[in-house]
Structure 1
Amino acid sequence: MAHTQESLSKTPVIKFKDQDFNSLRDRCLSRGLLFEDETFPAELSSIGLSLLRRKPFFSLQWKRPKDILMGKSEPHFILEGVSRFDIQQGEAADCWFLAALGSLTQNPQHLQKILRNQSFSHQYAGIFCFWFWQCGQWVEVVVDDRLPILNNKFLFVHPLNDQEFWPCLLEKAYAKFHGSYFHLHYGHLPDALVDLTGGVVTSIDLHASPSDLVQMIQAAAQAGSLMTCGTPAGPTGEAMRMENGLVSQHAYTVTRAGQIQYRRGQEDLVCLWNPWGKTEWQGRWSDGSPEWEETHHQQKAQLYKDKDDGEFWMSCRDFQENFSCLYVCNQFPVNMGLKNMPHERWSQMTFKSHVTPGNTTEGLPQNTQYIFSVPESMDSNNVAVSFNIMPQNLRAEEKFPLNFQVFKVDPQFQHFRERLPSTFFSRFRNSDKGIVTKTRCNLTKCFTLSPGTYVVVVSAGTEAVEFLLRIFLRTSDPDGNPGSSFNLRALKASLPENNSQQSIFYKYAQQGRGIDATQLQRLLNQEFLKGPPGDTFSLDECRSVVALMDLKVNGQLDPEEFSRLWRRLVHCQRVFQNTQKSGVFLSSDLGKAVKDADFLAGISVSGELLDLMVLRYGDSAGRVSFPSLVCFLMRLEAMAKTFQNLSKDGQGLYLTQVEWMNLVMYN
């Protein structure tokens, strides 16, 4: 049967191995103990003996950061901000993960979701947690801070600053998530990109990429994309430094691109970062190369920095000759071949299901069909079909266990909304042409489909598989708003002055009695917002706003209550416009919004509460709409003041069951 779209953005965070960070930390704090993780013990099994076959593992020790520093200095989770230069790869060949992480450091809103708000000073109990994305949900992974040390050196990732430990602890959590450090030993860049963002990966064949690669990389960076690439394998099949300074079978982060005047023309450049740290490209436009000495263009000061930090420039031509594929990850597919890429608009259908072997007709299963429609004709790559599965469900060395095909549905079959008959499927209807990105855990295929109705048919190999399927549909966006189905309606540049409130009130109030939620919804969407449909005020949000402002508890706002609401709305608008970037308000900025809202002066919010508010008011892309921000700020004010009014000592309050139910069910 066909599966209807399942909303995953509001699903709870999954506790990996059923470990809850807050309860474990609180238990350790109450007992004065440091956490020891029995599910990922400080033993060889957590590393994998194969990684230590050439090492004297008998001298292996597990030490906490404070013991590593031996009192010479204090450990820090983050010291002077987060940067890719904080990371230096260790003994595990997990450059595929570290290159993705290096790109993530340039995307603060995604990075904060992974790292959380943690430290070695506030409520330290030797326990840390990190979030990774799998199958449409965020998974919380808990670890202790005992790190493997061999011969007084970090065995795996070691930070550039010996006092900063977020890279080591994050790598340990990712190793636990995959089973051991050995399971990070060689992997696929797209898998790491998806695990860190929940996005979808588009692969770009560099050998066939067009001449305007620099503009495409710049546009992808402007859209907030993560970008990585890799070198081909060498004759030994292991990562080795080559004569040109690059490392074979190695992953790199693409950090930016630029152009510079050189001799009588213009040179296109790409900047990359190596997780090894100090091993860099030695060819044209590398650090200290003669090309930099021959140019005096003003861009030189902005681009060139001769530092032995693993980051370097190379020409686009050398980039395309030495790297085969560029991976671009965003919340929606990125069409690098289109010059209007930033002006695309994507919608998304999401299905979470499973498929079992057998039950097929002509080799195609009849119980796993997903129907979608393409509304308009586009130039190219207007549909992307993306599958994601849990790595824990795969055996070692197992390849991606699903196959799928896309068929166009003829009008005579379009009434089959549940399941298409076996007589439908034939080769001439199969839309099989497309660009494929395939790894152990992710499979994405981009199509160019004409308008019509289509069906995705999924089949399994030898075992049942649970999976997440996302179908992305691209349409034109005449207003040029960047991004996807998360586009916001624009706020009006200015609002009527306060002395116009009365006229607006009576414009929407029925017979001058008051404004209920339905009338308020029309008022807010017409007076505060402009442009095409997007994130408007919903009826449920307006009911919440009315309840928060309704002092007389009659389900309506009178002129006085509306005047107070209007002042709050104007202030929320100012906070939104001062904080958002390019029309997008990030959920990571909710704390800043609380500080900037004058009517919340004196109200403090904990990091844990902010994390919950991100889940409650943000979407799956880490964005907050203006209506959601209004509801958050106004509800925060109402709840804080309610506590102040009801509490006798400022520490707690007592409510009867009736009082409690009236408070939480209405306000």
Structure 2
Amino acid sequence: MEEVPLNGRTAVFTLFFLSAQVMVDVKLDRSKPSLAPSHYRDSSSSGAPGPFCIPFWSGPSRGGAPWIRWVCALLFKCRPLSVCIFHQLGFPPPAGNMASDGAAAPLGSIDNPVKFQNQDFDALLQECLKDKKLFADPTFPAEQKSIGMPKDPNPAKEIKWKRPKEISADALFVEDTIGTTDICQGQLGDCWLLAALSALTVHSKLFATVVPSNQSLSDSYAGIFHFRFWQYGEWVEVVVDDRLPVREGRLLFSYSRTRNEFWSALVEKAYAKLVGSYGSLKGGNISEGMEDFTGGIAYSLPVTSRTPPVLWRILTAALSRGSLLSCFIQAKSYSEVGKVTADGLVKGHAYAITDTDKVARGSEEVLLLKLRNPWGFVEFCGSWSDKCKEWEDTEQSEKQRLKLKLEEDGEFWISPGDFSTMFNVVELCSVSPDSLEDGDASTSQSTWTISEHKGSWLPGSSAGGSRKYNKSFWKNPQFELVLREQDQEDDDEEEEEDDNDGDEDKVDKGDEVLKEKNKGGTQKQKAKHCTVLVELLQKNRRQNDKINFLYIAFHVYKVTPEVQGACLDRSFFMKNRPVGRSGSYRAQRGVWRKLRLDPGHYVIIGSTYQPNQPGEFFIRIFSKTRNTLGVQDFTCSSDYIPVMAAPVLPEDQTKVEKTFDEKAGPDDRLNAQEIMKLINSVFDKSCHLPLETCRQIIFGEDTEGRSTLSREQAEAVLADLRALQSIFVQFDEDSSGSISPFELSLALEAAGMKCDSKVVQLLSERFVGGEPHLSFRGFVSCISRLRKLFALFESETSPEVKDRGINSWLLQFLVL
């Protein structure tokens, strides 16, 4: 792709793992008109269809053994993360699926989304039209398993699956225009998703990204639709049929207030397919939906952190920048969730913020916020609500300008003062980090560069837990961040929360709202900083009717020159404190923090609170100046042979001589069974080796194709095993006959084999196999396999193999 000049100075991000970069040119404008009727061909108005495309962002296939999928990703690099240039809030360019230089758009971009479950919408549509049949999706069948909840035993409440025209004779995909009242919550606890969808309808360009135009229940109708969602660095296109769950003649889940419009129900179905089932949508954070509809950054703002007028200005500016806004009232207990207050508001329930405005009332100018309850009913009944007297004293022209509808549709106006008194948290989501700052829409254009990475926490290998577990914390994935030039001058640091809250990390059980720093504190001296925003998301935790979020956080450490470019060990983290962090560990999909750091070298550590908790994650780093992203490969090495060369003990030599004299055949060699007995007669029971391990040891020797060992080889094997036993005991701190898998890399290094994190992770998966501890036989098997692979690589003469390097070689053959 042709390079696009970026504003600002240079900063450099270097990750230890495969990454990609996305350049974001933020050009913000307020876009509030509804979509034109011509975008959807079955609308009541005529017109030529516009371009249409919907992406979903999804992780890799969830089938197969995790470690095999992980290895394949390392071997074949899967596909690079999206490398796209998003202009004007990330909206797709007008010209089809081509990049600006005429090349095909990168896979996973808005214009070339990943096809979820390999379903090609265009091909399936043409096939159905050719065969004159309606599409029936085999990957999300019209069955109870797609509902994802227990079946109701009452026959009268049996769920039937019907297409829109079987539900309503005048069914439309979209009727006239898109609006917030198109979305009403059904019998599913997904207000978080529908509130985000309501907020999306305010921004026509963003909406057209998720809900492609040119879809209809009349023209070229084949019962098939497609939508796009952002999922962890990629846009993914999800295909669904239009069979919807119906109970007693009415849609069971999301529906439109007009009852004959079906786009919102189909979006909900597509998202349910993405996460596994409708049941998987029950309960969630609004930010999840907003991020998946935009690919943007979502964060929480405590309502009480700003005065009502200032809060109104912030929300007005955010809407102008194209942000999605929502809010909720925190429930103090589970029993309070869904409770309607005396003012007509619902606790623990998500509302969309869809507009702000000023109303003239005599000589007074009143600030107002417009909210939407995704239920489609139950509204605020205080000042400026549909039932109040304030509207009676308002000029008719003002009411017409606002298109005021005094009816029970879930939509209402509220003053900033009442809003600040009754609501607790505002959720904001924007494609650009600029929208996360206070201010108005007139702020100058700036450019952000995004670096992204997908990784995993593996038990016993890279799932080291929080700093509380200092023996394993350093095993968590480490990302090196190099900041070279300043970009920002600040005199307050409102984003840096609780960075000095003690040595031990905390867990936020859900009763904490972001604490706002006291603005009245001591004025800091103005200084230049590098602006960085880090977001850590955990992947695929919403599956099979369960939400199983881990407590996650990240920490940022400044690295001294003497250890720059190296994987930091336990001693570094014992001596140094983080200079930035995401805050308390939280059981939610994502955590983020904007940091302003001095130029220098840093390491970012993403972790779960408890060690050995498996999970996949996605991390992205925004820089306010241009950066270049490099992969700092660590080359594996082996000094095993010289390090391990040691004379055989006299007693071992005597045992070998006696065994060979008694057991060896005419060729004076012993087979695997006999070698096993020899080894186990020398070592304690805790270090006994099984037959398969002994075969691996023999395979590692130069036996000229035979599966036996000579006297000299048997003596060398015993000497090696003695040395390995000494190393193993060194790391067996509790004398249990096993070591922690987290110590595997140090034990290998003590044996003369230095391996990078990817190789160590694979070794852990292969030889620990999910067990909490590594046995001596597993350690021996690991060493034997590595020793042979290092030797084979050294003897390899192919230039292509040598160019690929030892790391690629090890990853390829350790799988076998």
Normalising by structure 1, we get a TM-score of 0.65
From the superposition, tell whether residues 295 and 111 of structure 1 become closer, same or farther in structure 2 (CA, over 3 Å): closer
Query: Over residues 311-341 of structure 1, what are the superposed CA-to-partner deviations in whole Å (9 max), with x where a residue is unaligned?
Result: 2111112212222111111112256553367
Q: Which of 394, 397, 406 is equivalent to 1:307?
A: 406
Report what 1:408 is aligned to. Answer: 558
Q: Which residue of 2 aligns with 1:387?
A: 536
> Counterpart of 1:246 in 2: which secondary structure?
coil
Q: Kindly provide the CA deviation profile for residues 491-514 of structure 1, in whole angstroms up to 9, marking residues without a partner as x.
A: xxxxxxxxxxxxxxxxxxxxxxxx
Tell me, in whole angstroms, the C-alpha distance in 2 between the residues paired with 1:162 and 1:299.
30
Match of 2:453 in 1: 351
Q: Which residue number in structure 1 is paired with residue 302 of structure 2?
A: 205
Cα RMSD (Å) of the superposition? 3.1
How far apart are the structure 2 equivalents of 1:318 and 1:439?
A: 30
Q: Please state how far the C-alpha of 1:469 moved relative to its aligned partner.
A: 1.0
Residue 6 of structure 1 is aligned with which of 20, 41, 50?
A: 20
TM-superposed CA distance for 1:298, in Å, is 7.6
Report the equivalent of 1:64: 163
User: For residues 109-150 of structure 1, what are the alpha-carbon distances to aligned partners after superposition, in whole Å with 9 as ceiling and x for unaligned?
Assistant: 222122223112333221212111111111222211111111
Match of 1:470 in 2: 620
User: Which residues of structure 1 form unaligned runs of 5+?
Assistant: 477-483, 486-667
Residues 223, 437 of structure 1: CA spacing in aligned structure 2 closer, same or farther, 3 A cutoff? farther
AA matched with 2:201: T
Which residue does 1:398 correspond to in 2?
548
Q: Does 1:21 align with 2:169?
A: no
Question: Cα offset for 1:191?
Answer: 0.9
**Contact 2:534-2:621 at 8 Å conserved across structures:** yes
User: Identity across aligned pairs (percent)?
Assistant: 34
Report what 2:234 is aligned to: 137
1:62-461 → structure 2 map (5 Å cutoff)? 62-69=161-168, 72-73=169-170, 75-116=171-212, 117-210=214-307, 211-233=309-331, 236-260=335-359, 266-294=365-393, 302-303=401-402, 305-308=404-407, 309-334=409-434, 336=436, 338-339=438-439, 342-343=443-444, 345-359=447-461, 362-366=471-475, 368-374=477-483, 375-376=485-486, 377-379=488-490, 380=493, 381=495, 382-391=531-540, 396-400=546-550, 402-413=552-563, 416-426=564-574, 428-432=576-580, 440-460=588-608, 461=611
For residues 222 and 436 of structure 1, do their structure 2 counterparts lie closer, same or farther at Cα, with a shift above 3 Å needed? farther
Distance 1:237 1:208, change over 3 A: same
Kept in 2: contact 1:47–1:182 (CA 8 A): yes
Structure of higher CA gyration radius:
2
Using the alignment, how far apart are the partners of 1:265 and 1:439 within structure 2?
45
> After alignment, is 256-265 or 206-215 more displaced?
256-265
Residues 1:58 and 1:282: Cα distance change in structure 2 (over 3 Å)? closer
Evaluate the alpha carbon distance shift between residue 142 and residue 427 of structure 1 in structure 2; reply closer, same or farther with a 3 A threshold: farther
Specify which of 112, 119, 144 is matched with residue 44 of structure 1.
144
Does the CA contact (< 8 Å) of 2:552 and 2:585 recur in 1?
A: no
Q: Distance in 1 between matches of 2:624 and 2:607?
A: 26
Distance 1:438 1:224, change over 3 A: farther
Q: CA deviation at 1:162?
A: 3.1
Superposed displacement of residue 455, structure 1: 1.6
The CA distance in 1 between the partners of 2:338 and 2:123, in whole Å, is 42
Question: AA paired with 1:459?
Answer: S
- Shift of the 304–58 alpha-carbon distance from structure 1 to 2, 3 Å rule, reads closer
Q: Secondary structure at the match of 2:192?
A: helix
- Work out whether residues 357 and 462 of structure 1, in 8 Å CA contact, stay in contact via their aligned partners in 2: yes
Which moves more between the two structures, 377-386 or 338-347?
338-347
Q: Report if the CA contact (8 A) 1:239-1:247 is conserved.
A: yes
The residue type equivalent to 1:65 in the other structure is P
Q: CA deviation at 1:372?
A: 2.2
Letter in 1 for 2:534: V
**Number of residues of Structure 1 aligned to a counterpart in Structure 2:** 472
Tell me, in whole angstroms, the C-alpha distance in 1 between the residues paired with 2:17 and 2:231: 20
Distance 1:295 1:28, change over 3 A: closer
CA offset digits 1:408-434 (Å, max 9, x no partner): 223444xx2353454432465302455
Cα offset, 1:244, TM superposition: 0.8
8 Å CA contact 1:436–1:446 kept in 2: the answer is: no
> Take 1:371 and 1:411, find their aligned partners in 2: how far apart are those partners?
13
Amino acid at match of 2:459: P
CA shift, 1:402, in A, is 4.1
Q: Quick one: structure 1 residues 297 and 64, their matched pair in 2 at CA, closer, same or farther if it must change by over 3 Å?
A: closer
* Cα distance in 1 for residues equivalent to 2:573 and 2:217: 60
Q: Which runs of 5+ in 2 are unaligned?
A: 1-14, 22-81, 84-105, 465-469, 496-530, 629-816
